[in-house]
């Protein structure tokens, strides 16, 4: 069947990519800000009766709660995103994330309202996790479904770049505040400023996100599904049911691919704040500045790995990143032990480049595993379910291993074990590069409502077609 969709213009496609990047940057800024604050101040503000390491463990426990909420958000947002469209759900997720982050900035501490403080903190963290659970799938699908198969890995990696952008922004704000404020002022009230800034960032993101068009692949699939229902009256299964019944293998592959990527990232960016400051004796500002520079390196690496996956395939790039990060962890901690800026930058920078090899192709990889009418649900649920046992528990497990063994070697073994799981998932996964998103995605997919048409071309291909 010939496509009924007009090629996307260069300007409209650029707007889609930009809106997804900015939206994910803001949401990840909010999410990472919490992780940094949990490592630096939440232990004393919300759990003041505990010793320092136990306070960090308790604050990382609230951090992990957000990851538990993410699959629920992926399920709910995925269901309605597959039924009603990607754009509307992305606007809702942005508003929820911004409101909860702003509220954390206003939340009184334990000294003011007692046990209600950590309980409210947990509630707001749940809202954050729920919102982020719906954000990722919609953002990457909006780009993947507007673009072409030929360069999908590159263009779909840009929403992925919102992760280091958000981390960069959160770390930069914290680093500036740490530099201009005494430690006592930062711990007392200065940490609230980055959370309150989220309100302004959300307004900017909302303005940009409302300007983009809905996914043309989704619109055509919805039209075909509606026409089929009117002609024969079949009851279309709920997206979650369809994913669990028809695409459970792809779901397990997505979860396995996520394990090493997710665990390594939070060990490198969150646990390092605990290890470098409390164990290696590094200055807080030194660690934050090194992470700031490493995030810039990762930001450049993500689209490069995405583009390479368009040339050689998703599987070899992801496998290289998983194997590399598993080995690098045994170098990572000895470098951090030196406590200098250059050593910490080298440790985090190389680690994040290897992480980017797993993360850059991931948006295209997961989009290509599922069909149009289950893609939001399948990609989101696979992505977010893995985050519970992977990233959500990583800082907690790493801190517990450090406390139990007084050594970072068990933490390195932990990350290496995660790399083995990801390599196994890649080994049993099909290569998805070049798949037509309008034809269902996964092997033998063909969801109800899938069109069989070629995807809308990206800017270069679209312009060539016009000529």
Alpha helices (runs of H) in 233-374, residue ranges in sequence order: 239-246, 248-266, 272-274, 284-312, 314-337, 341-359, 362-367
CA distances 188 to 60, 215, 407, Å, are: 19, 46, 32
Q: Specify whether the CB–CB gap between 34 and 104 falls below 8 A.
A: yes
CA distances 159 to 138, 141, 300, 420, Å, are: 10, 10, 13, 27
pLDDT digits (tens, 9 = 90+) for 220-230: 777 776 776 66
Q: For the residues 102-113, what does the mean pLDDT come to?
A: 89
pLDDT digits (tens, 9 = 90+) for 189-216: 888 898 898 888 888 888 877 877 776 7
User: HSE-up of 64 (CA within 13 Å, CB side)?
Assistant: 21
With H, G, I as helix, E, B as strand and everything else as coil, classify residue 445: coil
In angstroms, rounded to a whole number, what is the distance separating the alpha carbons of residues 24 and 90? 10
Banded pLDDT at 438 (limits 50, 70, 90): low
52-84 and 116-146 are packed helices; what angle lies between their axes, rounded to 10 degrees?
40
Q: Burial code of 195-207, b = ≥16 C-beta within 10 A, e = fewer?
A: bebbeebbeebbe
CA distances 42 to 110, 127, 403, Å, are: 10, 18, 19
Q: Burial code of 138-154, b = ≥16 C-beta within 10 A, e = fewer?
A: bbbbbbbbbbbbbbbbb
Name the range with the highest mean pLDDT among 51-55, 170-174, 407-411: 407-411
Does residue 422 have a pLDDT over 60?
yes
Report percent pLDDT > 90 for the chain.
27
Task: Give the chain's mean pLDDT.
Answer: 81
pLDDT value, residue 369 = 87
pLDDT value, residue 336 = 94
pLDDT value, residue 449 = 41
Does residue 442 have a pLDDT over 50?
no
pLDDT digits (tens, 9 = 90+) for 295-354: 899 999 999 999 999 999 999 999 999 999 999 999 999 999 998 999 999 999 999 999
pLDDT value, residue 125 = 87
Report percent pLDDT > 70 for the chain.
85
């Amino acid at each position: 069947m010939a496509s009924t969709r007009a090629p996307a213009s260069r300007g409209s496609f650029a707007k889609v990519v930009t809106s997804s990047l900015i939206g994910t940057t803001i949401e990840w800024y909010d999410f990472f800000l919490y992780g940094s604050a949990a490592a630096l101040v939440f232990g004393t503000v919300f759990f003041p009766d505990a010793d320092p390491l136990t306070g960090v463990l308790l604050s990382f426990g609230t951090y992990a709660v957000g990851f538990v909420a993410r699959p629920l958000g992926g399920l709910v947002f995925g269901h309605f995103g597959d039924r009603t469209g990607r754009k509307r759900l992305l606007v809702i997720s942005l508003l929820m994330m911004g409101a909860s982050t702003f509220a954390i900035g206003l939340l009184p501490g334990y000294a003011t309202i007692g046990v209600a403080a950590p309980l409210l903190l947990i509630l707001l963290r749940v809202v954050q996790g729920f919102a982020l659970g719906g954000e990722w799938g919609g953002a990457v699908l909006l780009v993947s479904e507007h673009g072409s198969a030929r360069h999908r890995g590159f263009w779909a990696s840009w929403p992925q770049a919102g992760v280091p952008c958000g981390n960069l922004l959160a770390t930069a704000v914290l680093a500036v505040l740490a530099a201009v404020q005494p430690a006592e002022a930062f711990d007392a009230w200065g940490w609230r400023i980055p959370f309150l800034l989220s309100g302004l960032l959300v307004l900017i993101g909302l303005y940009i996100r409302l300007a983009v068009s809905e996914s043309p692949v989704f619109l055509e699939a919805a039209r075909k599904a509606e026409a089929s229902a009117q002609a024969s009256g079949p009851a279309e299964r709920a997206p979650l049911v369809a994913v669990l019944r028809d695409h459970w293998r792809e779901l397990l592959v997505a979860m396995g691919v996520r394990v090493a990527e997710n665990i390594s990232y939070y060990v490198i960016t969150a646990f390092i704040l605990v290890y470098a400051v409390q164990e290696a004796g590094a200055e807080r500002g030194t660690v934050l500045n090194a992470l700031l520079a490493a995030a810039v390196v990762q930001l450049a690496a993500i689209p490069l790995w995405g583009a390479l996956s368009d040339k050689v395939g998703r599987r070899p790039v992801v496998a290289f990143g998983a194997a590399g990060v598993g080995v690098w962890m045994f170098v990572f901690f000895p470098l951090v032990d030196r406590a200098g800026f250059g050593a910490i930058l080298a440790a985090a920078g190389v680690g994040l480049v290897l992480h980017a090899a797993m993360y850059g192709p991931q948006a295209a990889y997961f989009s290509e595993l599922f069909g149009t009418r289950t893609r939001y649900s399948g990609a989101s649920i696979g992505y977010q379910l893995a985050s519970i046992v992977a990233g959500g528990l990583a800082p907690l497990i790493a801190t517990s291993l450090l406390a139990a063994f007084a050594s970072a070697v068990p933490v390195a073994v932990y990350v290496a074990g995660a790399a083995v799981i990801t390599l196994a998932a890649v080994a049993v996964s099909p290569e998805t590069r070049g798949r037509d998103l309008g034809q269902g995605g996964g092997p033998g997919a063909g969801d109800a409502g899938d069109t069989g048409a070629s995807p809308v071309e990206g800017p270069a291909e679209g312009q060539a077609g016009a000529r």
